Amino acid sequence: MQDAVEQARLGLCRMIATGELKPGQVLPSEIELCERFNVSRSSLREAQKMLHVAGALDLRRNASARVSQLTPKNVIDALTAIVPLLPLDSFIELFNLREILEGYCAAQAAARLSDSQIEKLEQIAMNLRKCAPGHDAQILDTEFHKLINSAANDQAIISLLKVLRQRGRDYHIYEEPERLDLKKVSDNAHLEIVQAIKNRDPERASFLARTHVHTTKTWLETYRPNPDLFSNNLEDV
């Protein structure tokens, strides 16, 4: 059956990728698709579920399946269902990508943020430094990175960083008593990033942001905390 499911999935993918099925278009009937792909209804439905999870199909109760609006943002948002399932070592592999993206966003922030936005960013960083580890600190951390990443003005980058940062918060790395000093290091890094942005120094802002991400990666590799999955509903960038 698995081969039949994959056959149906690839068939649907080809129809979408070639434009035969356009965004918002209702899929042909199950009978027509089953005949076309030479698969059973159960195999076709499993393939449709897979594409729904991937964000390619819109499946609703008592409604015909439709092709989703396939923007880069929507496709990346679909990773929200997958990234939380990654074990720690697999998640850590994504940090090289995160370094590049957050470095880029910090450079853009140094070039693009208004003086008032930078003032707000500095205030958030100062409030975060005064805040004990926990929910309030996570809210401030989210606001800090949200403001920086917004400077990229690129919904694909913003959405991907949202997924990665949401997963990272599951580890609550600063909230164990023996790791309180790590938050101080992180808070100081935030203030250094703010200073580089204030100085309109994109190269240094990028370097500091990438270093900050790399440090977090090292902490995860060293302490290997257990994730508190699906408990975090903070809105991120």
The arithmetic mean of pLDDT across residues 78-102, rounded, is 90
State pLDDT tens for residues 174-228.
877 778 899 999 999 999 999 999 999 999 999 999 999 999 999 999 999 888 7
Backbone angles phi, psi at 174, to 5 degrees: -90, -5
Q: Which of 97, 84, 96, 32 is closest to 53 using CA atoms?
A: 84
pLDDT at 87: 92
Contacts of residue 219, defined as CB under 8 A and 6 or more positions apart, other chains included, come to 173, 179, 182
* DSSP annotation of 77: H
Q: What is the CATH number of domain 2-70?
A: 1.10.10.10
Q: What residues contact residue 53 under an 8 Å CB cut-off, 6+ apart?
A: 78, 81, 82
Radius of gyration of the chain (CA): 22
Ranges of CATH 1.10.10.10 domains, the chain: 2-70
pLDDT of res. 160: 92
Residue type, 42: S
Which pLDDT value is given to residue 64?
Answer: 87
Residue whose pair of structure tokens reads 């938050």 in the numeric block: 183
Tens digit of pLDDT for each residue in 35-66?
999 999 999 999 999 998 888 899 988 888 99
Beta carbons within 8 Å of 147's beta carbon, 6+ residues apart: 109, 113, 117, 120, 121, 124
* Residue tagged 């919904």 (tokens): 155
Q: Is the dihedral of CA 129, 131, 134, 135 positive or negative?
A: negative
pLDDT at 234: 58
**Gap between the Cα atoms of 119 and 124, Å rounded:** 9
What's the confidence (pLDDT) of residue 75?
75
pLDDT reported for residue 229: 63
Give me the mean pLDDT over the 151-170 stretch. Answer: 91
- How high is the pLDDT of residue 71? 81
What pLDDT is stored for residue 63 in this prediction?
86
Separation of alpha carbons 179 and 173, rounded Å: 7
pLDDT reported for residue 237: 41
pLDDT in tens, 93-151: 999 999 999 999 999 999 999 999 999 999 999 999 999 998 899 999 999 999 999 99
Q: Which two tokens stand for residue 66?
A: 């439709």
Residue 139: closest CA among 160, 169, 164, 109: 169
Q: Which residue reads 């399946």 in tokens?
A: 65
What residue has token string 């965004």?
A: 23
| DSSP 3-state of 137 | helix
Structure tokens belonging to residue 53: 């999870």
CA angle 156, 162, 166 (to 5 degrees): 155
Confirm or reject CATH 1.20.120.530 for domain 76-223, answering yes or no: yes
Looking at the chain, which residues constitute the CATH 1.20.120.530 domain(s)? 76-223
